[in-house]
Homo-oligomer: A and B are copies of this chain.
Amino acid sequence: MASSEIDALTQALARLPGLGPRSARRAVLHLLKRRETSLAPLLRALERVNEALSICSTCGNVDTIDPCTVCADPRRDDRLLCVVEEVSDLWALDRSRLFPGRFHVLGGRLSALEGVRPEDLSIDMLIGRIARGGVDEVVLAMNATLEGQTTAHYLAERLETFPVRITQLAHGLPVGGELDYLDEGTLAQALRARRPVS
């Protein structure tokens, strides 16, 4: 149907999350028909990112500078350190602009099933950062999954000896959540963590 170059582009796009073969074809047609306004900018952006891509040696974020934009930001509070599983979690929390401190990306979560052990995550790097001092609070922002919570418990134990406050994200009803539609796990958490009405 199309040349092998166009097929290769379609396949490369179809592998992106959120795009399938059908939407990849539509995207390719869009690019082909708008060479100057769509294809060229995308190509330039990819080239630049590919040239400069690096993993932040401080926190594990992916960026085009090292230290990354977050670690290099002088307005952030060094005393607050938020530990997340993945770079996507860092981005999600940072987008909300609710957390004024620094981040640390573990690069995954402990998992007996997938064979992920503590030494596979950047835990030593985290402990190094905390041991250097200056951190008052470590926020464990793991996912509310079995493996995320196992990782949080493990980290809390490892960090016990440091003079830092260790906190974790609250669990309970999501905003707008209706009891009738929530899973039992969430309900149980919300009930267990119930607070007096002030």
Asked if A17 and B12 make an inter-chain contact with CB atoms under 8 angstroms apart, the answer reads: no
A1-52: which residues lie under 8 A (CB-CB) from chain B?
1-3, 5-6, 8-9, 11-13, 15-19, 23, 25-27, 29-33, 35, 38-50, 52
CB pair A63 B2 closer than 8 Å: yes
Q: Is the interface of A mostly helix, strand, loop or mixed?
A: helix
Top-5 shortest CB links A-B: A18-B23, A9-B45, A12-B42, A16-B27, A3-B64
- Contacts A/B (CB < 8 Å), 24 sampled: A1-B69, A2-B63, A2-B69, A3-B69, A5-B49, A5-B64, A8-B44, A9-B48, A11-B45, A13-B42, A16-B38, A17-B27, A29-B87, A29-B91, A32-B49, A33-B62, A33-B87, A39-B46, A39-B49, A42-B46, A43-B43, A43-B46, A43-B50, A46-B46
